[in-house]
Amino acid sequence: EATLDLAERRRIRSAIRELQRQELERDEETLASKRFRPERNSHRQDNKENWPQSQRLEEEQQAALAALSEQLEAITSVEELTKLLRAAGEYEERKLIRAAIRKLRAEEIEGEAQFSC
C-alpha cells in the first residue's frame, strides 16, 4: 500500500511539473509574440497627421528657450534668478535658470578668489 501511494504521488508530481512547464512555455510564446508584434497602421497614420503640429510646438518651445537664455544673460542677481526659478513651470526653463544661477555663483567665487590673492 505504501509503495503504491508513493508511486502515485510521484506520478502526480511529475504531471504537475509537466503542466507547469507547458504553462511557462505558453507564457514565453505569448510574450515573444507581443514583443515582435507589428505596429498598427492607424497608429502610424496618427503620427503622420500629428507630426507637423508637434514639430511646430517643438520649434516654438526652442524659440522660447532661446529668448529666455538671452534674458538670463542680462540678469546679474542670484535673487532675481531664484524668483524666476520658482515661477518657472517647464522643466527646460528651470534647467536653464539653474545653469544661469550656477554660472553667476561660479563667477562670484572666481571674483572673490581674485580679490583675496
In a domain? residue 11: no
Checking if the pLDDT of 1 tops 50, the result is no
In a domain? residue 98: yes
Question: Containing domain of residue 88, as a range?
Answer: 58-116
Q: How many folded domains does the chain comprise?
A: 1
| C-alpha dihedral (53, 58, 59, 62), degrees to nearest 10 | 160
| 40 vs 81: which has the higher pLDDT | 81
For residue range 48-76, list pLDDT tens digits in order: 666 777 788 888 888 888 888 888 888 88
The distance in angstroms from the start CA to the end CA of the chain is 98
In a domain? residue 88: yes
In a domain? residue 68: yes
- The CA R_g of the chain, rounded to the nearest whole Å, is 32
In a domain? residue 28: no
| C-beta separation of 85 from 54 below 8 A | no
In a domain? residue 42: no
In a domain? residue 39: no
Checking if the pLDDT of 18 tops 90, the result is yes
